[in-house]
Structure 1
Amino acid sequence: MNSTVSKWDKINFACTKKNGEGQKANLKISCWNVGGLKSWVKKECLKFLEYEDPDILCMQETKCNEEKLPEEIKELKEYKQYWCSSKKEGYAGVGLLTKKEPLKVTYGINDPELDEDGRCITAEFDEYYLVCVYVPNAGRKLVTLPKRLDWNVAFKDYVQSLDEEKPVIICGDMNVAHNEIDIARPSTNTKSAGFTIEEREGMTDFLQDGYIDTFRKLYPDKADMYTYWTYMANARAKNIGWRLDYFIVSERIMNKVCDNVIRSEVLGSDHCPLTLFINM
């Protein structure tokens, strides 16, 4: 109960699935809301890089300015590092580690007010854009729901501008359980942040513009699959969770996706990592 140390040797990190074009994966992208980079490092979560060995790791809720990065992070030689921090100390923030240097890296979504929190990094590669995002939470009693809805509009416009140039891969904490299958207790959470009708309709609206929730496309009926569990009431051991973290791709490259794996056995945060296997 409340263990924070993963049993790394017991987890199967392999992928044998082929995509819709009959190809094996040649690109592995992982995504993890780390719930504070400093505490994440202390919980030995850097071992994830050793065992999963992703080509790219996107992190959300780093809560750490670049000048205060843990030494263990600074010492990583295999990965290029890009960080987007909040102006508010110890709040939000995203990071991207990649073995291959991007053609270009940009920060934010072209909205000065929304970009103050440090919620988005975009890396451009030859064949695609990768967007690492930490979507605003609607907050207790939904006090920040208006900000969240403003974000939805701005983010959708931003992604559309990228998608006109080349396909996009979006990953991160979207802070919404899209459908009832994506939350353990839907009936008691209809007025909770992350499961309001406004937030769910926002995700529906976004996807209808030509994007695919890869996990649900591959596993349309797979229940009890979550990426977030509150620390309270032993929720993780009971698997009372929410699927808040996603890999979303442009519809035209869904056929290149081999698998999207939720690594629920990996501990160290109130979210677990997920990994996209794709052939680009």
Structure 2
Amino acid sequence: MKFISWNIDSINAALTGTSPRSDLSRQVLDTITKENADIIAIQETKLPEAGMNAKQEEALKAYFPEYDYVYVSSREPARKGYAGTMALYKKDIKVVASFPEIGAPDTMDSEGRMITLEHDKFFFNLVYTPNAGDGLKRLKERQEWDVHYTKYLKSLDEVKPVISCGDYNVAHEEIDLANPDSNHMSAGFTDEERAGFTNLLNAGFVDTFRFIHGDIPNVYSWWAQRIKTSKINNSGWRIDYFLVSDRIKDKVTRSDMLDSGARQDHTPIALEIEL
């Protein structure tokens, strides 16, 4: 089976926007459709609580006519038009969708950050992990999230194997970002966030990219938009992951980044696994 994960940074902009950046996003959607994945995980949809409008749904179905989909949006008391996730899956795949609340702090459980699809053979979990924020103002809450998320994923793994993916908002090791020395106090590379991800892996999960590619350097999934030369110079971070239960790691045959062309921000990632 093949899976793709992408932080889209506004599904409305990608589907119906008219800006040059929207054009670049649609080029990425073209790349994704050519992959013909079984399941596609989308993060940061930024949809309102009421959901997609007719124009957005029409555009989505034009790109993915062979897929059913579910999504969850941020709702009160959380911010409007914030975060949000979506899962698309081939119409012939039988899954049951849930939208877990894990006892996370603040408004995190209301921000539409997670969807789990239960398949006969596995759980598929997609997540948009909360960012620690400017000035690390949400670092404490992020640490609590990590504890609750690890407990949740482990509970799934006790039932059947897990495939999880998304924007985890952390570069795990120094090899996972271009400039580690200057970023130890930056959101996404604090000791606390890195330790949280280590604890997640130690709970029985494998970072499939490192499993397949070892310590290959200079491969990233995100480049800062505000720095115009970040992608040209490959000054990026690897913060998007596919994880699998340790007991199915040997079934993984591919774990890669997809080419997102000139578009900065996140690039899609792909996993292939023999199940």
1:135-154 equivalent positions in 2, closer than 5 A: 135-154=129-148
1:233-248 equivalent positions in 2, closer than 5 A: 233-248=228-243
Secondary structure (helix, strand or coil) at the match of 2:9 reads: coil
Which one-letter code corresponds to 1:80 in the other structure?
Answer: D
After superposition, the C-alpha distances for 1:170-199 in whole angstroms (9 at most, x for unaligned) are: 100000000000000000000000000000
Instruction: Report the TM-score when normalising by structure 2.
Output: 0.88
Secondary structure (helix, strand or coil) at the match of 2:222 reads: coil
Which one-letter code corresponds to 2:99 in the other structure?
Answer: Y
Distance 1:160 1:262, change over 3 A: same
Which residue in the other structure is 1:68 paired with?
53
TM-aligned CA deviation for residue 63 of structure 1: 0.5
Name which of structure 1's ranges 261-270 and 205-214 shifts more when overlaid on structure 2.
261-270
TM-aligned CA deviation for residue 119 of structure 1: 0.2
TM-aligned CA deviation for residue 277 of structure 1: 0.8
Which one-letter code corresponds to 1:86 in the other structure?
Answer: S
The CA distance in 1 between the partners of 2:251 and 2:262, in whole Å, is 29
Pick from 23, 31, 35 the counterpart of residue 9 of structure 2: 35
The answer to whether the aligner puts 1:93 opposite 2:93 as a matched pair is no
Q: How many residues align?
A: 254
Higher RCO (CA 8 Å, separation ≥ 6 residues): 1
After superposition, the C-alpha distances for 1:145-174 in whole angstroms (9 at most, x for unaligned) are: 111111101111111111110000010000
Instruction: Report the TM-score when normalising by structure 1.
Output: 0.86
The answer to whether the aligner puts 1:167 opposite 2:161 as a matched pair is yes
Note if contact 2:121-2:161 (Cα within 8 Å) is conserved in structure 1. Answer: yes
After superposition, the C-alpha distances for 1:76-104 in whole angstroms (9 at most, x for unaligned) are: 43101110111132210000000044431
TM-aligned CA deviation for residue 67 of structure 1: 3.2
The CA distance in 1 between the partners of 2:224 and 2:152, in whole Å, is 31
Gap regions ≥5 residues in structure 1: 1-26
1:73-222 equivalent positions in 2, closer than 5 A: 73-75=60-62, 76-87=64-75, 88-99=79-90, 100-111=92-103, 113-222=107-216
Distance 1:39 1:81, change over 3 A: same
Which one-letter code corresponds to 1:234 in the other structure?
Answer: T
Distance 1:136 1:193, change over 3 A: same
Gap regions ≥5 residues in structure 2: 16-21
The CA distance in 2 between the partners of 1:266 and 1:132, in whole Å, is 24
TM-aligned CA deviation for residue 122 of structure 1: 0.1
- Over the matched positions of the two proteins, sequence identity in percent amounts to 39
